Amino acid sequence: MSPWHLNYYRLRRKRGILGTRAWIEDREGRVLAQVDGAGGRGSKEIRGHAADDETRPLFVVRSQATRDAYDVVDPSTGSDLGSFRRVRSPGKPPMQDWEILNDGGRILGRLRESLESDRRYVRHGVSSAEETFLVDRTPLGQVIVDFTKAPSEETWEVVLQGFPDRVDRRILLGVLLIVGR
């Protein structure tokens, strides 16, 4: 099975003086990709590469001309895997929903951020938050975020249940690299 069609991922992020680094792992803790410059929404391009070979990119998340819209590309084939964009919903804080689209622009699903995820910056004792992947308004996955480590470290666990196999998970991981700021 391709590492980009699993139903569990762990995203570890560490912020430092020289920038932000992230590691994407499978359930057993094997590193599937290392991401340098995982700097969040202000980033123009984020590259995930093999942990043992920084010259071989596995995916690239690129900012589109439209604000808060991104493409995810497989550089080995040059193919567009899909994209995602922030959706402004009336009556909600604007960062709550992200639409996930396939390579043809059709909406595959949505990532709904919890309000608690924004409180992590205030640090009022919030130790975890949850985001939910929705497809046709049905929850098919959760992202559980652990903020209990040092303020410069986070661990995100992605658990998918019934998520369509045809969807390359690099799109979902790209969303989390941006949403995680």
Over residues 109-152, the pLDDT tens digits come to: 888 766 554 444 433 334 445 566 666 667 777 777 665 566 67
For the chain, give the mean pLDDT.
Answer: 78
The one-letter amino acid code at 89 reads S
Classified as helix, coil or strand, 116 is: helix
Rounded CA Rg of the chain:
15
Q: What is the DSSP letter of 55?
A: E
Alpha-helical runs (H) found in 74-158: 116-119
32 vs 36: CA distance, rounded Å: 14
Which pLDDT score is estimated for 73?
96
Task: Give dist(CA 59, CA 126) in Å, integer.
Answer: 32
* Residues 57-91: tens digit of each pLDDT: 999 999 988 888 999 999 999 999 999 998 876 66
- Residue range 3-179 forms a domain whose CATH class is mainly beta
Q: In terms of DSSP bridges, do strands 53-63 and 45-50 run parallel, antiparallel, or are they unpaired? A: antiparallel
Tokens 């595959």, residue located: 108
Q: Which of 66, 55, 70 is nearest to 176 (CA)?
A: 70
Task: State the pLDDT confidence band at 9, using cuts at 50, 70 and 90.
Answer: very high
Token pair 């919030």 in the structure block, residue: 126
pTM for the model: 0.80
CA separation for the pair 177, 179 (Å, rounded): 6
Report d(CA 148, CA 10) in Å as an integer. Answer: 15
> How far apart, in whole angstroms, are the C-alpha atoms of residue 104 and residue 94?
25
